[in-house]
Amino acid sequence: MKIAVLGTGYVGLSTGVCLSQIGHQVTCLDINERKINQLRQGISPIYEPNLEELLTSNMAAGRLQFTTSQPEALADAEIIIIAVGTPQGDDGAADLTYLVQAAKEITSYITQETIIVIKSTVPVGTNAVVKKLIEDRTGTTVKMVSNPEFLRQGSAIEDTMKADRIIIGSENELAARKIEEMYQPLNVPVIVTSTKSAEMIKYASNAFLATKISYINEMANLCEAVGANVADVARGMGKDKRIGEAFLNAGIGYGGSCFPKDVKALLHTAEVNGVEFPLLKETIAINERQREWLVAKALKRFGHLSGKKIAMLGLAFKPETDDMREAPSIPISAALSKWGAEVIAYDPVATENAKKLLGDSIKYAGSIAEAVYEADAVFIVTEWNEIKNQDLVEMIRNMKEPIIFDGRNCFSEDEIRACSAIEYYPIGKPSIII
Ligand code: UGA
């Protein structure tokens, strides 16, 4: 099938690459010339495992193109997939500016046969609004499909190629069937719903996962208070198939470009529809508190943080990505600076992006060893393998004091006990002081 993908962010680029990988003829369109030029050279603008390999091989096979030219991408596309960003607006609602712009751009290329797929995360009712906008401009009926995306950053390709489900929401049976056919080579279960239900499934899923994280984080705080171990509690809970093991890792709160904005957008949808959703409000409030938890622990330990040198290990909102959006490292470093601490951070890939946000409010190290040198304490903020797999004994050797506040529970009790002197403060588990 001949497919055009609008937007080369995480979702658009991964979708385009994966659809070309399963044999479709894909052209990705973006207004950002620099990005398109980079992509044409086989360079991915984002850090994502396996993306560049699939990008170059499918380009070489002639199945994948990148362009800034609308006619080139859209002229004879059977399917147009809109995957532009829907960032958070000032009032908490999703900002649909890019989506509306994309809808306007495609109008002159749409025929009665074209299927328009909205993959961007959009509030309930948006597909209908876009349909009307295009129909008003073209004077023809258009076929719309809501096809939300569930890939995670850091495993975007794997999540797309081996998705748990594909959601197809449409009022047009033929269009729904065609999109099902497009995905057929992936051999993934397909659920066909109304457009509104498909739009809601995306928000309902993200908000549920965010709530699961806030639940386990609150449970972690209770475990700390009573002396239980949240990792054991999560393991015990997760074995119950009705609960499931995933997304029960306690830590310093969820971040990224999706959960924070999507929970707020769903809450906004509830509010404008006159529905109270106190659970979502608590999910957000718990997350806000959790992001400052390590700082609270450090304040309790030291009494004050003025003049303390804190090594922050990890900056990205999660491992395997250089994305800093809503990363817990941002409020943590701000709080540490506010308390008068000096922060020196290390991240395997996110440092350049972090510099754009944090500037010189903190210092940056080129290695773990450099960051922890003569530090009063270490804050573990992102669970990169490099951080988890480091030799703890070696790491604490050059610290001023061997004190670790681990926001991601990276180390086992055995690893900690192998150190001759250490103070280890994890999340939701008993502290270990040797
Ligand atoms: C999330 C969803 O998982 C995807 O299904 C969805 O497609 C995507 O949003 C989106 O809407 O585009 P993503 O934001 O890439 O994906 O990252 P996740 O792996 O879900 O992690 C989100 C945050 O939750 C991270 O800060 C992570 O550290 C945190 N987290 C995750 C926990 O604190 N504990 C957990 O057990 C799991």
What does the pLDDT look like over 97-108, one tens digit per residue? 999 999 999 998
Q: Is 327 in the pocket of ligand 1 (CB under 6 A)?
A: no
Mean pLDDT of 129-148: 94
Domains of the chain (ranges plus CATH)?
2-193 (3.40.50.720), 202-289 (1.10.1040.10), 291-433 (3.40.50.720)
What is the reported pLDDT for 46?
87
How many angstroms is it from 386 CA to the middle of ligand 1? 20
What does the pLDDT look like over 210-266, one tens digit per residue? 999 999 999 999 999 999 999 999 999 999 999 999 999 999 999 999 999 999 999
Cα–Cα distance measured from residue 291 to residue 334, given in angstroms and rounded to the nearest whole number: 11
What is the reported pLDDT for 120?
93
pLDDT(92) > 80: no
Q: What percentage of the chain reaches a pLDDT higher than 90?
A: 93
pLDDT(415) > 80: yes
Give, using CA atoms, the residue closest to atom 9 of ligand 1. 258
Q: Is 210 in the pocket of ligand 1 (CB under 6 A)?
A: no
Mean pLDDT of 38-46: 94
Give, using CA atoms, the residue closest to atom 8 of ligand 1. 152
What does the pLDDT look like over 155-170, one tens digit per residue? 999 999 999 999 999 9
Q: Catalytic residue positions?
A: 258
What does the pLDDT look like over 153-206, one tens digit per residue? 889 999 999 999 999 999 999 999 999 999 999 999 999 999 999 999 999 999
Mean pLDDT of 313-317: 97
Q: Could you tell which of 153, 215, 330 is best to mutate to test the pocket of ligand 1, judged by most ligand atoms within 8 Å of the CB?
A: 153
How many angstroms is it from 75 CA to the middle of ligand 1? 36
Q: Could you tell which of 122, 203, 209 is best to mutate to test the pocket of ligand 1, judged by most ligand atoms within 8 Å of the CB?
A: 209
Lowest mean pLDDT among 100-109, 276-285, 336-345: 100-109
Mean pLDDT of 60-89: 94
How many angstroms is it from 206 CA to the middle of ligand 1? 8
